[in-house]
Amino acid sequence: AQTVTQSQPEMSVQEAETVTLSCTYDTSESDYYLFWYKQPPSRQMILVIRQEAYKQQNATENRFSVNFQKAAKSFSLKISDSQLGDAAMYFCAYRRSNAGGTSYGKLTFGQGTILTVHP
Amino acid sequence: DAGITQSPRYKITETGRQVTLMCHQTWSHSYMFWYRQDLGHGLRLIYYSAAADITDKGEVPDGYVVSRSKTENFPLTLESATRSQTSVYFCASSEGGSVTGELFFGEGSRLTVL
């Protein structure tokens, strides 16, 4: 079974600074997807960024980028120019590739990292 | 409005009572999921469904029952609630055949079992 580990229960950053959230995962598969979700106090789950394992290039979405190290099974999220609105719980998640069958779309989540942004 | 809605948003119940959390999506997504969120555990999959009348257990199914008679609805029932089922419950859906398999989440239902 796949597992996802976020070893940082809490992180903090000063506004306008950069912070990196860590995530490691365990899988025997070669093709999969990785995600970072943001959960603000409203509880809404918001997709931040997605990475396909077959792509060597790291995904980037505006101020958010990832460092995907496939051999090390590491998938960290970098937030640049942090803003007060970035304060939230962040979840790393794993999904198998389109293997068909009834298990398609299942995400396995890490424990979450609470990010605090100081003004 | 289109989307995925959960009800109730908040529920307090007593040990031993039956509780049903409702989930409705308007996208006609094939796949639907129920997760529970607990501090230190992240989100854990309870049950999922690939289509109407097709359901399967996730990581933590004990004490829960699901059904899916219609594509758009996926209710979760706690047949005899226990304190350990106090949690925030999320329903999610995804489109069958989607390359990315992105999940779309409801706003969550906070359940307290006294």
Number of cross-chain residue pairs from A and B with Cβ atoms under 8 Å apart: 66
Query: Taking a C-beta distance cutoff of 8 angstroms, is the pair B53, B79 a contact?
Result: no
Q: Give the H or E element holding residue B44.
A: strand B42-51
Which positions 62-91 of A are in contact with B (Cβ < 8 Å)? 91
Query: Taking a C-beta distance cutoff of 8 angstroms, is the pair A64, A49 a contact?
Result: yes
User: Is the Cβ of A32 closer than 8 Å to some Cβ of chain B?
Assistant: no
CA closest to B91 among chain A residues: A45
CA closest to B41 among chain A residues: A111
* Average pLDDT score over residue span A61-66: 96
Residue B42 C-alpha from the chain's centroid: 15
Query: Taking a C-beta distance cutoff of 8 angstroms, is the pair A11, A21 a contact?
Result: yes
* Structure tokens, B85: 């089922």
> Per residue in A9-48, pLDDT tens?
999 999 999 999 999 999 988 888 999 999 999 999 999 9
CA closest to A52 among chain B residues: B100
What pLDDT is recorded for position B100? 67
Q: Of A4-8, A98-102, B90-94, B101-105, where does mean pLDDT reach its minimum? A: A98-102
CA closest to A102 among chain B residues: B50
Q: Which amino acid is at B77?
A: T
User: Is the Cβ of A108 closer than 8 Å to some Cβ of chain B?
Assistant: yes
Distance (Å) from the alpha carbon of B9 to chain A's nearest alpha carbon = 11
* Beta bridge mates, A116: A12
Query: Taking a C-beta distance cutoff of 8 angstroms, is the pair B6, B74 a contact?
Result: no
Smallest Cβ–Cβ distance between A102 and the set B50, B94, B99 belongs to: B50
pLDDT in tens, chain B (114 residues): 569 999 999 999 999 999 999 999 998 898 999 999 998 899 999 999 988 999 999 999 999 999 999 999 999 999 999 999 999 999 999 886 666 678 899 999 999 999
CB contact under 8 A, A50 and B48: no
DSSP category for residue A17: S
